[in-house]
Amino acid sequence: MSPLFTFRFLGTGDARQVPVFDCDCDVCHRAQLESRWQRHSCCAALYSPKGILLIDAGLPSLAPWLSMYTQRCILLTHYHMDHVQGLFPLRWGVGKPIPVYGPPDLAGCDDLFKHPGMLDFKPPLMAFQPLHLHRLRITPVPLNHSRPTLGYLIETSECRIAYLTDTVGLPDETLQFLEQQGTLDRLIIDCTEPPAAVMPRNHNDLTSALHIHVRLRPQETYLTHIGHALDVYLQTHVLPQGVQVARDGMSFTL
């Protein structure tokens, strides 16, 4: 029996978040009135009985999530600001260094590599080379984005989930690898835009996200990295069975 892990969405929004500044659309107005409709920058946490693993660091303050654990590490998908902004204040903390794992990207973000503070940046992860953190087997997979980006296949002895953001479509090698691993219990996939006439440049629209859902056939799919236009679209459209939109604070066990 594996230890009980809990996965929690800490943020499910795109770079603009919801509400978008000065936007008066229905969903942004709703989010201004009620915090439960807000979407913060996309990131997540995996809790084990002894520790926490953050997937991305997009929240401005990470202290509330990390401070209560002695075993903690951070897994980055890439170095765009909306996925790493929480590292900037965190690095000047004191205490035990926090390991940070991420893709091969020599530029990183601003001066994070030059002045890491308490952040212990580990050697870049390589696609399809698994590592083990907090009794989880984690395999990086390449994604399609404007800079080096990795998604992750995360496995316990009893559960298999794929966390795939930011991406537009998936590279053939990633699709083939995931298909070969057996049925996913949960697929968490970038779905930033409503159905678009022209494929977005860096993120999935709903059409492309559902195509990946059909191709990989997971037991459940969660859409994340949501833009406000998709929230507007979903007010009058229904998702297929087995597909749901993630919200900040939503969680499940592995």
pLDDT at position 101: 98
Pair of tokens at residue 194? 């409503």
- State residue 157's pLDDT score: 87
Residue 27 pLDDT > 80, yes or no?
yes
Mean pLDDT throughout 118-128? 98
Q: Please, which pLDDT band fits residue 103 given cuts at 50, 70 and 90? A: very high
pLDDT in tens, 180-201: 999 999 999 999 999 999 888 8
The pLDDT mean for the chain works out to 95
pLDDT above 90 (res 141): yes
Alpha helices in 39-171 (DSSP H): 63-66, 81-84, 87-90
Give the alpha-carbon dihedral of 212, 214, 215, 219, to 10 degrees. 100
Average pLDDT over residues 241-245: 97
Domains of the chain from N-terminus onward: 6-246 (3.60.15.10)
Task: List the one residue out of 178, 185, 182, 186 whose CA is nearest residue 222.
Answer: 186
Say if residue 1's pLDDT is above 60.
Answer: no
**In the predicted model, is pLDDT for residue 245 greater than 60?**
yes
Q: What is the mean pLDDT of residues 238-249?
A: 97
Q: Please name the residue that has the structure tokens 């990086």.
A: 140
DSSP state of 89: H
Portion of the chain with pLDDT greater than 70, in percent: 99
**Residue 49 has what pLDDT?**
77
Is pLDDT of 8 > 60? yes
Q: Determine which of 17-26, 32-41, 193-202 has the lowest per-residue pLDDT on average.
A: 193-202
pLDDT at 37 over 90: yes
Write the DSSP assignment of the chain as a string of letters: -PPP-EEEEEE-B-TT-BSPTT--SHHHHHHHH-GGG-BPBSEEEEE-SSEEEEE---SS--HHHHTT-SEEEEE-S---HHHHTTHHHHTT--SS-EEEE----TT-STTTTTS-TTEEEPSPP-TT--EEETTEEEEEEE--SSS--EEEEEE-SS-EEEEE-S-SS--HHHHHHHHHT---SEEEEE--BS--SS--SSS-BHHHHHHHHHHH--SEEEEESB-HHHHHHHTS--PPTTEEE--TT-EEE-
Nearest to 239 by CA among 226, 252, 254, 249: 226
* Residue 124 CA to its chain's centroid (Å): 18
pLDDT at 135 (0 to 100):
87
DSSP code, position 35? G
pLDDT at 82: 96
| Whether pLDDT at 95 is above 80 | yes
pLDDT reading at 50 higher than 90: no
Distance of CA 23 to the CA centre of its chain: 25
**Which band of pLDDT confidence, cut at 50, 70 and 90, is reported for residue 3?**
low
Question: Whole-model pTM?
Answer: 0.95
Percentage of the chain with pLDDT > 90?
A: 91
DSSP 3-state assignment of 128?
Answer: coil
Residue 2 confidence (pLDDT) above 60: no
Highest-scoring range by mean pLDDT, 1-5, 92-96, 214-218: 214-218
H or E element: which one contains 151? strand 150-155
Backbone angles phi, psi at 10, to 5 degrees: -85, -30
Confidence label for 134 from pLDDT (cuts 50, 70 and 90): confident
